Chain A
Amino acid sequence: MIRIEGLAKRFAPARRGAAPVLAVQHVDLAAADGRICGLLGPNGAGKTTTLRLLAGLLAPDAGRLTVDGIDVVQQPRAALARMGLLGDARGLYPRLSARENIVYFAALQGLSREAAHARAEVLADALDLRHLLDRRTEGFSQGERVKTALARALVHDPANIVLDEPTNGLDVPATRALRETLRHLASPAGGAKCIVFSTHVMQEVERLCDHVVVIAQGRSVAQGSVAELLARTGRTQFEDAFVDLAFGSPGEAVR
């Protein structure tokens, strides 16, 4: 369960005298367990900053972030232990094998050696990584990298999963496989995880999300299921609905 209320974050200007950058002005989000929540917005809307605030990498100027009721600002480490993060940066250690990359993060999450290796095996099967497991990540393709990074993020079997544009750079089969994985993780069989992911791709949201939060210019301008958003805007195409919500006049923005 992830809850974001009234979140705001501004960055100091690059030059003295310039106006500060208002990256996030007011974002609200509620993501329930066993559901997939999409954070949809154009480039520069504040999606990555929102997710970095959620990961505790930045301190918010205002608002509240909680993960399973744990405040991210007050208890960052307890909150991180309940989240699996696949951020904007997903670098692997090239001289380490995929297994070593996964086991390293497992150890930092506090898993025992045996538990870490057991989890690596489970994730290798779930993410179709087995043939890569003992290869150094140096020559991995983009898709193989994302899979390894995802395995690394899920190593402690977190109840909440946060992904920043996870399908970036993936080809169609890899995207479909990732979609399948996320659907499985949200299902009762996969552990009914609470999944939040950001994207600017419409189809992904249409095909995957139970709940959508539209972000534009640092504000969450609408939320609901795809059907609800279509009904609200009176459109038949989700893309048209999105454009209305994200770029329409501010007065039309509805909650």
Chain B
Amino acid sequence: MSHAGVVATVFAKEVMDALRDRRTLLIVLLSSVLMGPLVLVALSALVGNLEERAERRELVVAGLAHGPTLVNYLQRQGFGVRAAPADYEAQLRRAALGDPVLVLQADFEAALRRGDAPVVEIVSDSANKRSEAGSARLQRLMAGFARERATLTLALRGIAPDLTEPLRVRERDLANPRVRGTQITGMLPFFVLMAVLYGALHAALDSTAGERERGSLEPLLGNPAPPWAIVLGKWAAVVAVAMAIAVLACFSFVPAQWLLRSDTLAALFQFGVREALVFVAVLAPFAAAISAVLMAVAIRCRSVKEAQASAGLVVLGASLLPLAGVFNLGEQAPWQLWVPALAQNTLMTRVLRGEGFDAAQALIPPLVCAVVAAAALAYVAARLRQAALR
């Protein structure tokens, strides 16, 4: 039989075997493919909640009666004012209260009239993200109130208000909306990487350590087929399963966007068929490499259980590497392209930002993955006979 025929035969059998393992497939599908969209929808609910709060234009004030002038100012700016509950500190701590609280002292009004610069407190809990988001707005309102008071006082003394404003500040944000969006959608590449990993995991372990555990590797090698062709067929099957999961995971984001509650997030997260295809292209070399590495780790193990323990190390590594990109907030370092998993994470983040790849970005990661895959497969082929016997 031709060597290509052996590869094709083993490939067809391993794919059929993997597809028959319905329970494992279902768990992988649920955990990997649905996870990303679920997180996306949950995120959109969070962002939607924040936006809703911003739109509600309602402020929470403790000691409402102590500052009629301030309350009048706030109402003129179009905000509703609500008295804070008595235990607002406790409520903020356990995140029951989603707005920061403005605290007025008892002598606020009198001190304001005397020009004594009374202190107002803005109370929020930095562990309570929702209250944190509203406190910047309160700060701006307080600054506005102070400016108005100053302007009025100066105007009474005959000084032109312009004199108090020797300069004006205007902000210009250079980030394009898609780059801003990646602050929120930045974890999506991680989810699809994990989907590939878990897609490959079971098939890789079953076709190596599983074959040893069942005692079917020795009879398999009793056939006149070269070990490398058998290994190549098995590897191709593992990659095929992993890529099928990857394709499902990537394309599941396309319909997931329709569920986005937040219009802002929906505008920021533009993930169409083109982006999904680029994701798949970026993931293919990674799937090839991780499948081979998992097989190399598992061929040393006598049982699937033992292999799972060893593969845990690979999974841990592959899930920690992309984090290097999170910690490194500055410019992407060139070395990151040479590290599998991290490189793919970087490239997919660029796709989400709407940026293209240069030659190095397009060539180095697949090259590294090809070398890793070839080395791991050579190792599996060399170990196969030995593995069959013990």
Contacts and interface: CB of A to CB of B under 8 A. Distances in A.
Nearest to A79: B224
A92 interface: yes
A89 B20 contact: no
Given A91-B215, A94-B214, A108-B1, A80 B224 contact: yes
Contacts of A76: 224
Nearest to B8: A107
A113 B214 CA distance: 26
A90 interface: yes
Contacts of A95: 17, 20-21
A189 B43 CA distance: 75
Given A58-B389, A95-B21, A90 B225 contact: no
A154 B352 CA distance: 57
A88 B219 CA distance: 9
A58 B5 CA distance: 25
A104 B214 contact: no
B77 interface: no
A32 interface: no
Contacts of B332: none
A171 B99 CA distance: 78
B224 A152 contact: no
Interface string A81-94: 10101111111111
Nearest to A80: B224
B222 interface: yes
B137 interface: no
Contact of B218 (A87, A109, A152): A87
A238 B182 CA distance: 82
Contacts of A91: 211, 214-219
A96 B223 contact: no
B135 to A, nearest CB: 59
B293 interface: no
B216 A104 contact: no
B205 interface: no
A87 B219 contact: yes
B226 interface: yes
B388 interface: yes
Interface of B: 1, 5-6, 9-10, 13, 16-17, 20-21, 211, 214-226, 385, 388-389
Given A92-B216, A149-B219, 13 more contacts: A55-B221, A55-B222, A89-B218, A89-B219, A90-B215, A91-B217, A93-B216, A96-B16, A96-B17, A104-B13, A108-B223, A110-B1, A110-B5
